[in-house]
Amino acid sequence: MSNTRFTNWARNQTCTPAAKHLPRSEDELATIVAEAHHERRTVRCVGSGHSFSAAVLTDDVLISLDNMSRILEIDRAERVVRVEAGISLAELVKTLDRFDLALPNLGDIAYQTVAGAISTSTHGTGLHLGGLATQVIAMRLVLATGDIVDIAADDDPALLQSAAVSLGALGVISSVTIQCVDSFNLRAVETPEPLADVLATWTERCESNDHFEFLWIPGTDQALTKSNNRTAGAIEPIGRFAYARDKIGVENVLFGGLSRFSRRFPASIPTLASTITRVAQPNDYSDASWKIFASARWVRFVEMEYAIAFDVLPDVVREIDMMTRRNGHQVLFPVEARAAAADDLALSTAHGRTSAYVAVHMSAGRDYRSYFKDVEAIASTVGGRPHWGKLHFKNADDLAALYPSWSDFAATRDRLDPTRTMSNAYVTRVLGP
Ligand SMILES: Cc1cc2nc3c(=O)[nH]c(=O)nc-3n(C[C@H](O)[C@H](O)[C@H](O)COP(=O)(O)OP(=O)(O)OC[C@H]3O[C@@H](n4cnc5c(N)ncnc54)[C@H](O)[C@@H]3O)c2cc1C
């Protein structure tokens, strides 16, 4: 047990738990949770602290599964892996690769734990691919009482639909079974293009590429498109020079420097934004899928992301462009647009609808509120659902109306955690008391 202060990756959320535990086994985990419950304390879990929202915060009992991060079983024939829930996605995909297996999709980074990523509906991009939680076929959940529930898609699909994305509000996930795919290579093509052209062809591009996304800085007219497609050809990894120039130099060092400069001199932001847009270079390379999907992130920022219906994305981006210019928001960080398939998980942000994701960012340390609120207002006019792990201003009353299976999740929560042992202020705000 330790009582270290918790600070998330973006350094915008901190707390000092009364106790922090790092169990080494499911039995030890169950004992810790049951004792906390017996003492009428509340329990939260932390993954790798990559949520921007206050999802993890507690001044009571915090549990980290850093010591429960092993691969438990790999069934190569069925392409199924069972892992302890604290394993990072990075560690998982590296190990899977040695067995010629892969996850079908990943987000921009792979620092997250498996449990943390699925619990907030983390996703990548790909019109025909669901978020990470849709790959989960079973899990074990330690309830507040210390009882352990085996949840499997084959036995009780409805329960898994509630438990796969649960913000840690049902219990502590101790292990997860994931359906993988055969390993594959991706060819990545990155191209600076006029935003108007990208928006005009948004649907075709998402349909014709396995994974399509674009980045665009409000106030500029250029976007950077990223199209990743499966390739059976020989791989040609990004050259050392292009990697150093674009992935480290531009995306991290130059961007970090400009971001710090812009905090001191906000009036310089429009010039800096057009400079960044001009230095973006085309790239064409290929590699193992997990090396293409996720990259290094050195520059700290805060983020809000909304899931909206797939086909309204171009209009929403145009609205954000007009609003940003009209309201004079000084923004250096890009808007990121992605797509995902509909799924049936109760609290998945893509529940029941083919979705586009529109994410906005602000340098860490700058006031993000008025910009994010203005973007949220636009997303709300089209029934947008906020990412559970990112910043937003919604509460349970707003959110209940956006999720058709809200009452199913609420009933599961009442059954599995009737005493609300697994809650904190954020969970109470977004899921209700
Ligand atoms: C630089 C950066 C890039 C990102 N890129 C993407 C992206 O591309 N796509 C995307 O969708 N999101 C992205 N995110 C958001 C991120 O994927 C989510 O916030 C994710 O939940 C973080 O995982 P974590 O392991 O850090 O979990 P944490 O942030 O530590 O926790 C997240 C939630 O999971 C719960 N939890 C953790 N472990 C357990 C457990 N064992 N049992 C039950 N509940 C548990 C926590 O209580 C909390 O509610 C990004 C974040 C950052 C900082």
**Of the residues 6, 28, 50, which should be mutated to test ligand 1's pocket, given the most ligand atoms within 8 Å of the CB?**
50
Residue 389, ligand 1, Cβ within 6 A? yes
CA of 321 to the centre of ligand 1 (A): 28
Annotation: CATH topology of 6-64: 3.30.43
**Beta strands 43-46; 61-64: pairing state:** parallel
**Measured between alpha carbons, how far is 273 from 288 in angstroms, rounded to an integer?**
32
pLDDT at 272 over 80: no
Considering only residues 11 and 274, tell me which one the structure prediction assigns the higher pLDDT: 11
pLDDT tens profile 179-198: 999 999 999 999 999 999 99
> Edge-to-edge, what's the strand order for the sheet holding 301-309?
283-288, 185-194, 222-231, 211-216, 335-340, 355-363, 301-309, 385-386
- What is the per-residue pLDDT across 233-264, written as a single tens digit (0 to 9) for each? 888 988 777 766 666 666 666 667 777 777 77
Name the residue among 399, 425, 6, 419 with its Cα closest to residue 165.
Answer: 399
Give the pLDDT mean for 314-339.
Answer: 95
Query: Pairing relation of β-strands 71-75 and 80-84?
Result: antiparallel
Read off the pLDDT band of 315 (50, 70, 90).
very high
**pLDDT over 70 at 219, yes or no:** yes
How far is Cα 340 from Cα 125, in angstroms, rounded to an integer? Answer: 6
CA-CA distance, 142 to 182, in Å (whole number)? Answer: 31
Atom of ligand 1 nearest to the CA of 44: 47
Between CA 23 and CA 98 the distance in angstroms is: 28
Q: Is 49 in the pocket of ligand 1 (CB under 6 A)?
A: yes
Mutate to test the pocket of ligand 1, among 7, 65, 120, 426 (most ligand atoms within 8 A of CB): 120
pLDDT in tens, 400-432: 999 999 999 999 999 999 999 999 999 999 999
Beta carbon of 300 within 6 Å of any ligand 1 atom: no
119: tokens are: 């619990």
Which atom of ligand 1 sits closest to the CA of residue 45? 47
Domain 185-386: which CATH number of 3.40.50.2300, 3.40.462.10, 3.40.190.10, 2.60.40.2140: 3.40.462.10
- 302 close to ligand 1 (CB < 6 Angstrom): no
Task: Report which of 80, 305, 44 is spatially closest to residue 180, judged by C-alpha positions.
Answer: 80
User: Which residue puts its alpha carbon closest to atom 12 of ligand 1?
Assistant: 122
CATH of segment(s) 71-182+396-421: 3.30.465.10
Of 30, 22, 64, which is closest to residue 147 (Cα–Cα)? 30
Q: Where are the beta strands (DSSP E) in 12-157?
A: 14-15, 19-21, 43-46, 61-64, 71-75, 80-84, 101-102, 136-142, 148-152
Mutate to test the pocket of ligand 1, among 43, 51, 360 (most ligand atoms within 8 A of CB): 51
pLDDT of residue 2: 59
* Two structure tokens written together for 204: 């075709």
Percent pLDDT > 90 in the chain is 84
Mean pLDDT of the chain: 94
Question: Who has greater pLDDT, 375 or 275?
Answer: 375
pLDDT in tens, 50-85: 999 999 999 999 999 999 999 999 999 999 999 999
- What's the CA dihedral at 269, 273, 279, 285 to 10 degrees? 130
Domains of the chain, by residue range, sit at 6-64, 71-182+396-421, 185-386
Residue 3 has pLDDT above 60, yes or no: no
Region 35-55 average pLDDT:
98
